[in-house]
Amino acid sequence: MPVLVEKLASLKGDLTIVSPDAGRVKVAERYAMTLGAELAIVHKRRSHSSFNTVEAREVVGDVSGRVCVLVDDMIDTAGTICSAAEQLAERGASQIVAAATHGVFSGPASERLSESPVEKIIVTDTLPLSENMQIGKVEVLSVAPLIAEAIRAVFEDTSVSEIFGGNNLV
């Protein structure tokens, strides 16, 4: 989170942190509080008539004309991120950014993200970036300084949690 927050703080415009689903609301709220940003949530309802399909999606919060940052722990096939981004675009977001700690990018992720309204994808280097994801939309941030600081804290017997502001969420 500290590595991503530092980058997100440099974004220009009215910032809204968006949880792509109900499961990431607490983390998105922490990002929003840290960055002094608004919070929005993409809510999906599962279909009662059809297995494993989404019936409707709603965006809770005003995203019109705002720079929306979808935050998640990882982007795997990019289905959730791309679907949420489409909802934000339909509701008038001025820019859509995806930020995740881990860029897994498996299966159809490259194609989905290339065709999505997501303008920038920010991930850390906790996983190597596959060749098919080396596209202009992707920016990789190094976690090496953060890990080095944590190792230093362990060896000096100081607080590792202080490095993370007392927070231990990804």
**Cross-strand pairs, 46:** 54
Q: Under DSSP, is residue 86 helix (H, G, I), strand (E, B) or coil?
A: helix
- Considering 7, 12, 26, 44, which one is annotated as catalytic? 44
> At which residue do the structure tokens 């109900």 appear?
22
Determine contact, residues 113/82, Cβ cutoff 8 Å.
yes
- Residue 65 backbone zone (phi > 0: left; psi -120 to 50: alpha; other: beta): left
Please, what's the b/e burial string for 92-115 (b: 16 or more CB within 10 A of its CB; e: otherwise)? ebbbbbbbbbbbbbeeebbebbee
Question: In this structure, are residues 14 and 65 in contact, taking their beta carbons and an 8 Å threshold?
Answer: yes
44 part of the active site:
yes
* Sign of the four-CA dihedral 68, 71, 74, 79: negative
Of 122, 78, 128, 117, nearest to 98 (Cα)? 122
Q: Which residues are catalytic?
A: 44
